[in-house]
Chain A
Amino acid sequence: MSDDVSTRFDRLPATAAERTVGERATREEVLDWWDERFGIDPAVFAEHSFWERGAGKVWAFRGDLESPVDIEGLGMTVLRTRQEHWKPTLEAVQRFGHHATRNRIHLSREQAAAFMAGEDQEMEWDGDWGYLIVTHDLAGEPEPLGVGLYTYDELKSMVPKGRRREL
Chain B
Amino acid sequence: MSVLERYEPLIDDPEAFYAACERPLPAAVRVNTIKTTVERAREALAEAGIEAEQTDWHPGLFVLPEAQAGGNWPYVHGWLHGQEEVSAVPARVLDPQPGERVWDCCAAPGSKTTQLAALMGDSGRLVATDNNMGRVSALRSNAERLGVTNLAITIEDSRNHSLKPFGGEEYDRTLVDVPCSCEGTIRKNPDVLEEWSYEHVEGTAGVQKGILRRAIQATKEGGTVVYSTCTFAPEENEAVLDHALAEEPCELVEFDLDLESRPGVTEFEGEQFDDSVARAKRIYPHHNDTGGFFCAKLEVTG
Contacts and interface: CB of A to CB of B under 8 A. Distances in A.
B152 A65 contact: yes
A76 B77 contact: no
Contacts of B124: 63
B72 A167 contact: yes
Contacts, number: 97
Contacts of B47: 138-139
Nearest to B101: A63
Chain B interface residue number, banded:
35 or more
Interface string B123-159: 1110010000000100111011101111111110000
A145 B154 contact: no
Interface residues of chain B: helix, strand, loop or mixed (majority)? mixed
A70 B155 CA distance: 10
B236 interface: no
B153 A72 contact: yes
B74 interface: yes
A124 B155 CA distance: 47
Contacts of A72: 136, 140, 153-155
A62 B149 contact: yes
A48 B149 CA distance: 8
A69 interface: yes
B147 A91 contact: yes
B64 interface: no
A75 B149 contact: yes
Interface in A61-81: 61-63, 65-66, 69-77
Interface of A: 47-48, 60-63, 65-66, 69-77, 89, 91, 94-95, 116, 138-141, 143, 145, 162-163, 165, 167
Interface of B: 34-36, 40-41, 43-44, 47, 70-74, 76-78, 122-125, 128, 136, 139-141, 143-145, 147-155, 165-167
Given A116-B76, A167-B73, A167-B76, 19 more contacts: A66-B167, A69-B152, A72-B136, A74-B151, A74-B153, A75-B152, A91-B145, A91-B147, A94-B77, A94-B78, A138-B47, A139-B47, A140-B43, A143-B77, A145-B76, A145-B77, A163-B76, A167-B71, A167-B72
